[in-house]
């Protein structure tokens, strides 16, 4: 999505499912802490605004964006009751070497793979910017807060999964209960 065409924090609250009862994990990179803390604040506030209680938001920190996926996997493996979604928050700023490309590619692919492997929404809330100014603009600045967008995505995807899972169980009972 082209950020210059949209403020990440602008949305219609009526379009967001009620998230009360949802359990959401958030994994936050400690690297670029000023940015990632602002993303966490945006995500947490948004989750609470839509009904997720404080005790149902699990926040864990990892050293950098590269470690977000393993942190997310740990949350998925070792949190009971199970989480409805995991949000990965980080910030990778372009430097003079290709390190940026390798980190961004690995993190994006691994977050995607985790969601597929666990059949649980694992949300990519990682800023990949050319400079610090662009990151700040997307962490509460003029382009809103990508953490809010990540939280909304987590709520919507968890609600979709929960709805389809409940419908599947109901259909299964109706079909096999009649045999």
Q: Reduce the DSSP state of residue 97 to 3 states and report it.
A: coil
Task: Give how far Cα 160 sits from Cα of 75, 84, 119, 149, Å.
Answer: 21, 10, 12, 16
Helix H or strand E encompassing 62? strand 57-62
DSSP character at residue 83: P
Number of helical (H) and strand (E) elements in the chain, helices listed first = 5, 6
Residue tagged active-site, from 37, 50, 99, 143: 99
Tell me, yes or no, if 112 is annotated catalytic: no
Active-site residue set: 99
């Amino acid at each position: 999505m082209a950020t210059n065409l949209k403020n990440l924090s602008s949305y219609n609250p009526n379009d967001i499912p009620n998230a009360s009862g949802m359990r959401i994990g958030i994994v936050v990179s400690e690297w670029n802490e000023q940015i990632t803390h602002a993303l966490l604040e945006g995500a947490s506030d948004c989750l609470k605004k839509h009904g997720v209680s404080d005790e149902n938001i699990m926040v864990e920190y990892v050293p950098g964006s590269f470690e977000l996926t393993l942190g997310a996997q740990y949350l998925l493996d070792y949190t009971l009751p199970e989480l409805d979604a995991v949000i990965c928050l980080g910030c990778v700023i372009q430097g003079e070497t290709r390190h940026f490309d390798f980190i961004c590619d690995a993190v994006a692919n691994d977050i995607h793979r985790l969601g597929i492997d666990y059949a649980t929404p694992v949300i990519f809330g990682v800023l990949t910017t050319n400079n610090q100014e662009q990151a700040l603009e997307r962490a509460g600045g003029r382009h809103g807060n990508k953490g809010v967008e990540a939280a909304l995505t987590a709520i919507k995807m968890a609600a979709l999964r929960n709805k389809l899972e409940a419908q599947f169980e109901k259909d299964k009972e109706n079909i096999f209960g009649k045999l």
